[in-house]
A and B are shown apart, each in its own frame.
Chain A
Amino acid sequence: MTEFFAQGGYAFYVWGAYGMALLLLALEIVSLVRRQRTILARIGRLVRMRARGGEQ
């Protein structure tokens, strides 16, 4: 297992490449999920506010 993580002494380069890939893809997924929630909440607030006869 240690041998696998060492990658023949090139761990920094190999895991640096895959680590950045993992980080960026994870960040993109999280930001997409959060953005969708934010947009839905914002439009929801707007609709409820108007339904109560608020600002038009």
Chain B
Amino acid sequence: MQLNWFRFAAPANFYPLAGRLVPIFGVIAAVTVLIGLYWGFFETPDRLGGTNPQKEYYRIIFIHVPAAWLSMWLYVVLAGWCAIGLVFNTRLSYMMANAVAPTGALFTFLALWTGALWGRPSWGTYWDWDPRLTSELILFFLYIGYLALHSAIDDARRADKAAALLALVGLVCVPVIYWSINCPDPNQCAALHQRSSLTQMEPNILSAMLTMTFGLWMYSFASAFARLRGIILEREAESTWVQELVAPASREAIR
């Protein structure tokens, strides 16, 4: 059987598919997040020893790291849909980008917020102009800038293109965040933020963190598809299929 992927590039065909996907991703997200939280809070040690001793507050890791990863990953997804939109001029790609952006901004804010609450007990400060913290803050402003620029332009297709360009330029921020903790010589520069060393983590902590990441990633799918449905309806409001879908009975009754 040949599956025609381009069929779903049409908003009219993707709308019902997205409607079926939202509850599936939502249920997977809810179950994995609950497992991840249980694992993280009840199956992990209260204190960490080693070179980086931490007390109970390290449990912020189970929301902080997934939120930070997703903030970067969702920006890559956003820029990816923008690039596809600019190259192929497909309406649905821009709508996807638009649907992902608020969730990405949410996770960026969460990464900053949870990082501040983790920084206070471990570094003694909520905020510092550390390279990683600063570049993550810029990423948050990029999301806001993308959304603001899009809503500032009345014509939807021009808004799509202008905002897509901004999103693509802003993509430089993602590798900056990723490598912002690399400091070859501690005498020349200092980074407050710890390096992530997945291989040295306690297995239960690592598993709980990865479970939470997967759960919140699935949540991102659910929320992006739910938002996409609204965007499709708004933009296609004048089309026959939307009007038939919204009020089939009243059309028949009047006729």
Q: Given contacts A10-B55, A47-B246, are A36 and B229 in contact (CB under 8 A)?
A: yes
Please tell me if the beta carbons of B109 and A24 are within 8 angstroms of each other in the complex: yes
Q: Does A1 contact B (CB under 8 A)?
A: no
Residues of chain A within 8 A (CB-CB) of B149 are none
Give how many A residues have a beta carbon under 8 Å from the other chain's beta carbons: 30
- Secondary structure call for the B interface: helix
Residue on A with the closest CB to B64?
Answer: A17
Contact with A along B108-144 (1 / 0, CB 8 A): 0110011001101100000000000000000000000
Please tell me if the beta carbons of B223 and A44 are within 8 angstroms of each other in the complex: no
Complex alpha-carbon distance, A51 and B47, angstroms:
67
Say how far A54's CB is from chain B's closest CB, in angstroms.
11
Residues of chain B within 8 A (CB-CB) of A40 are 233, 246
Using a CB-CB cutoff of 8 Å, which residues 1-42 of chain A contact chain B? 4, 7-10, 12-14, 16-18, 20-21, 24-25, 28-29, 32-33, 35-36, 39-40
Complex alpha-carbon distance, A37 and B189, angstroms:
52
Residue on A with the closest CB to B248?
Answer: A47
Please tell me if the beta carbons of A39 and B233 are within 8 angstroms of each other in the complex: yes
Residues of chain B within 8 A (CB-CB) of A21 are 63, 67, 110, 114
Residues of chain A within 8 A (CB-CB) of B60 are 13-14, 17-18
Give how many B residues have a beta carbon under 8 Å from the other chain's beta carbons: 39
Residues of chain A within 8 A (CB-CB) of B254 are 48, 51-52
Please tell me if the beta carbons of B41 and A4 are within 8 angstroms of each other in the complex: yes
Residue on B with the closest CB to A21?
Answer: B63
Complex alpha-carbon distance, A18 and B56, angstroms:
13
Q: Does B247 contact A (CB under 8 A)?
A: yes
Q: Given contacts A13-B118, A13-B120, are A20 and B110 in contact (CB under 8 A)?
A: yes
Please tell me if the beta carbons of B247 and A16 are within 8 angstroms of each other in the complex: no
Q: Does B237 contact A (CB under 8 A)?
A: yes
Say how far A18's CB is from chain B's closest CB, in angstroms.
6
Q: Could you jot down 22 A-B contacts, CB within 8 Å?
A: A7-B57, A7-B59, A10-B56, A10-B57, A12-B117, A13-B118, A14-B59, A14-B60, A21-B63, A21-B110, A21-B114, A24-B110, A25-B219, A28-B102, A28-B103, A32-B223, A39-B233, A39-B234, A43-B242, A43-B246, A47-B250, A48-B254
| Residue positions of A touching B, CB distance < 8 A | 4, 7-10, 12-14, 16-18, 20-21, 24-25, 28-29, 32-33, 35-36, 39-40, 43-44, 46-48, 51-52
